[in-house]
Structure 1
Amino acid sequence: MPTPPPTGPLVTRNSLATELCALGVEPGEILLVHSSLSSLGWVCGGAVAVVRGLLDALGPDGTIVVPTQSGDLSDPAVWGNPPVPEAWWETIRATMPAFDPLVTPSRGVGVIPETVRTWPGALRSAHPQTSFAALGARAAEIVDGHAPDCRLGEHSPLARLEKLGARVLLLGADYGTCTAFHLAEYRIPSPLVQVGRPGSAGWEVVTEVSITSDRFDELGHDFERDRPITRGKVGAADVRLFPVADAARYAQRWLGLHRSREEEVASEGS
């Protein structure tokens, strides 16, 4: 049987920019973009058209920021999707290439961030597992100085984005992808973990704040209920727009309350 034609909607660079501006995206602002290309519809030009549309909406003084995480640069002992045989672990640790911001691809964040990462003029932060790429007028200011022992906290691009008044654009993505919520994990009592990864001098282990996006969808539901955010459509995609600072501040209260309750319940059951 012949393949049925796409149902659309047809999305172009111009239609995307027009709809973003109608939603409230402002020229010159900074957007932290979490995205799903497939949610938009049939995009003429794919991820390249989406990036160009974002740049059109933001203008020459605006800046796009995207997560370009590389979680595969991690200890094979904790891999689960898929796991690898224990007999391989030491060889993997000894031979895994170290992070190179120019070469290491992003993983698990979609094709739009990878397109931004490889765009002429894009800059990338230096953390080997939770880097961000930025494109535009404020790119260097945002990505410089990402501390190697601070994945998503006070010495990461997230804190810079908060200070600069950036907004989050969930472009067909859900709250489970919202990295701004992770800032709150550094501002409430959180356990520390040992994180293994390849380094310039061989395998290294650093102490880091434990982070997880578990319950971020629930957190996002409450955030949207309690705080004013902008909602709309771009193509077929559901879109949400809100300040990084609002998200981090709300998440700090929410996680402080709900994770404390979880710990109390766990201790009562032990």
Structure 2
Amino acid sequence: MPTPPPTGPLVTRDTLRAELRALGVKPGEILLVHSSLSSLGWVCGGAVAVVQGLLDALGPDGTLVVPTHSTHLTDPATWRNPPVPEEWWERIRAAMPAYDPLITRSLGVGVVPETVRTWPGALRSAHPHTSFAALGPRAADIVDAHAQDCRLGERSPLARLEERGARVLLLGTGYDTCTSFHLAEYRTPAPLVGVGRPAPGGGWETVTEVSVSSDRFDELGHDFERDRPVVRGEVGAADVRLFPVRDAVAYAERWLALHRPRAEEILHPPA
């Protein structure tokens, strides 16, 4: 059967820039972008055009930040989509390459972040599982000093983004992708977990981290949008939301304290 014609709208670098500016993206600001390329429509130039449009909207003084997580460098015992046979686990742990910010690909965050990661001049943070990449004059300021035992907390780029007045752009994605909410988890009593990964010098290591989960983030986002100012609009065919990192974190701190069980209740549930 013949391939059906593409459905619109037609999205270009120029239309992206214009619509992002109309939404309220400001030249010179720091923007943390969570994105879905497929949500935009038919994009002439694909992910490259999306990155170009974002950079055009931010201008030469703006900084673009994206998540470049690498969850494939985790313990195979935790893999669920898909799982692997238990008899493979030790061999996978022994053979898994260690994280390298220059060559380790991102996974599960979309093609736009992977395009930013490989963009000339991009910088990437050091955490093996939850790195961020950035382009622009504030890139090093955002991604440097990402502690290897702090996925998304005070010693991660999220805290730097909060301090520097960055905003979040959900470009065709839902609140389940909003990494800023995870910073609030670090400020809300949460259990600690052992997280396995390949060690930089070879072998396998387990580090202690705060347990993080995007469970109920859609519900949290619904309430946040109801109670706080969130810019809403469309870019191409994508639903878009724009809001300060600081507002999202502050709201999530209060919401999680009310709506999630405390760490001691998780570890020691009532009889």
* TM-score range normalised by the length of the shorter chain: over 0.9
- Which residue of structure 1 aligns with residue 254 of structure 2? 253
Offset at 1:87? 1.2
Pair 1:206 & 2:207 matched = yes
Matches within 5 A, 1:230-269: 230-260=231-261
CA distance, structure 2, for counterparts of residue 185 and residue 156 of structure 1: 13
Q: Gaps (5+ residues) in structure 1?
A: none
- Which residue of structure 2 aligns with residue 46 of structure 1? 46
CA distance, structure 2, for counterparts of residue 189 and residue 58 of structure 1: 36
CA-atom RMSD, angstroms? 1.6
CA distance, structure 2, for counterparts of residue 145 and residue 269 of structure 1: 40
Compared CA separation, residues 266 and 127, structure 1 to 2 (3 A): closer
Q: Which amino acid aligns with 2:28?
A: G
Secondary structure of 2:241's counterpart equals strand
CA distance, structure 2, for counterparts of residue 195 and residue 264 of structure 1: 21
Q: Which amino acid aligns with 1:257?
A: L
Deviation track 1:134-182 (CA, whole Å, cap 9, x = no partner) reads 0011000000000000000000000000000000000001000000000
Identity of aligned residues (%): 78
Deviation track 1:220-253 (CA, whole Å, cap 9, x = no partner) reads 0000000001000000000000000000000000
- Which residue of structure 2 aligns with residue 72 of structure 1? 72
Compared CA separation, residues 229 and 56, structure 1 to 2 (3 A): same
TM-score after normalising by structure 2: 0.96
Matches within 5 A, 1:17-36: 17-36=17-36
CA distance, structure 2, for counterparts of residue 72 and residue 51 of structure 1: 24
Offset at 1:3? 2.1
CA distance, structure 2, for counterparts of residue 100 and residue 4 of structure 1: 41
Compared CA separation, residues 262 and 217, structure 1 to 2 (3 A): farther
Secondary structure of 2:249's counterpart equals helix
CA distance, structure 1, for counterparts of residue 138 and residue 267 of structure 2: 44
Q: Which amino acid aligns with 1:70?
A: S
Task: Indicate if the aligned counterparts of 2:191 and 2:263 stay in contact, CA closer than 8 A.
Answer: no
- Which residue of structure 2 aligns with residue 122 of structure 1? 122
CA distance, structure 2, for counterparts of residue 166 and residue 261 of structure 1: 29
CA distance, structure 2, for counterparts of residue 57 and residue 265 of structure 1: 44
- Which residue of structure 2 aligns with residue 96 of structure 1? 96
Offset at 1:199? 1.2
Q: Which amino acid aligns with 1:103?
A: I
Offset at 1:80? 1.1
Deviation track 1:75-133 (CA, whole Å, cap 9, x = no partner) reads 11111111111111111111110000000000000000000000000000000000000
Bigger CA drift: 42-51 or 258-267? 258-267
Offset at 1:268? 7.7
Offset at 1:257? 0.6
Pair 1:164 & 2:164 matched = yes
CA distance, structure 2, for counterparts of residue 147 and residue 237 of structure 1: 34
- Which residue of structure 2 aligns with residue 197 of structure 1? 197
Deviation track 1:169-206 (CA, whole Å, cap 9, x = no partner) reads 00001000000000000001000000000011221100
- Which residue of structure 1 aligns with residue 216 of structure 2? 215
CA distance, structure 2, for counterparts of residue 12 and residue 190 of structure 1: 44
CA distance, structure 1, for counterparts of residue 265 and residue 208 of structure 2: 25
Compared CA separation, residues 228 and 34, structure 1 to 2 (3 A): same
Give the paired residue count: 270
Q: Gaps (5+ residues) in structure 2?
A: none
Secondary structure of 1:72's counterpart equals helix
CA distance, structure 2, for counterparts of residue 74 and residue 3 of structure 1: 39
Secondary structure of 2:232's counterpart equals strand
CA distance, structure 1, for counterparts of residue 141 and residue 263 of structure 2: 38
Task: Indicate if the aligned counterparts of 2:69 and 2:129 stay in contact, CA closer than 8 A.
Answer: yes
Secondary structure of 1:101's counterpart equals coil
Offset at 1:265? 10
